[in-house]
Amino acid sequence: MKIGFIGLGNMGGPMAANLVKAGHAVTGFDLSAPMPEGVTGVTSAAQAAAGAEVIITMLPNGTILRAVAEEVIPAMAPGAVLCDCSPGEGQRARAVAEQAAAAGLGALDAPVSGGVGGAAAGTLTFMVGGDDAAFATVKPLFDIMGQKAVHCGAAGAGQAAKICNNMILGATMIATCEAFALADKLGLDRARMFDVVSTSSGYSWSMNAYCPAPGVGPQSPADNGYKPGFAADLMLKDLRLSQQAAEAADADTPMGALAAALYAQFVEQEDGRGMDFSAMLPRFEKRGRG
């Protein structure tokens, strides 16, 4: 398949590389990131889109997506699919889908879970919104770049799933970090706490797969000085998106709101900017009740 890939940073670069390894022809465009081996670099997003059957975007936010969509949709071949994997929100995803449909194109919003490690290993989970035909076209590519692709519904449903998932993740990571900090003050060994919680009712992805305590459980950013696998800044962005969506939908999300407020304090007033989102643990270690 001929693929255009726009946005080849920490996530997009490994995703594109995996498509090349699987035998696809990938043309790439990025303002600053280097081209992965085997990807043919071009000088504009429109050039990357020209003649491609599928265009994949992995961009920083929905505002940039709208600008890129304005450039690439006129350059896309009839019947091609624009598959956006960027973090964003449902309203922009629906607007881009309408714009693509008006031009005779398919469109998917397909945000991912799994971080940089999942992008490199090809084990991402894709949460996909859009029509059945577009999903069927891109599904073989999802199978290369990830371990699972769930068709969540119409345009915007993928972004809705991502927002809900990351609201849970932010809240559970905070709870996990709080629990380790409490265990320390109660004199409970961290490894023994992990052994108990990871096999009992406190089980969660934050504990079992991404443990915030260094030297405990599987390898995680905590074992690398909390250098980001998933940055606290990005978690804050997703939590704020969840609260914007909750306000628009009149949904009561007090835990999501508190998680957003705590990450805002951590990133904007403390030392969390540029750290992994699990670096909440050293934050709580240093704090007392007051």
Q: Catalytic residues, which ones?
A: 162
Distances (CA, A) of 225 to 9, 124, 210, 270, 275: 22, 24, 14, 17, 9
Q: For residues 85 and 126, is the Cβ–Cβ distance under 8 A? A: yes
Which residue matches tokens 């969509």?
69
Within a 10 A sphere around the Cβ of 77, how many other Cβ atoms? Answer: 14
Phi then psi for residue 237, to 5 deg, are: -60, -45
**Strand duo 124-130 + 112-113: pairing:** antiparallel
Bridge partners for 56 per DSSP: 5, 83
**Strand duo 2-6 + 112-113: pairing:** unpaired
Alpha-carbon torsion angle 216, 178, 204, 271, nearest 10: -80
Q: What is the DSSP letter of 231?
A: B
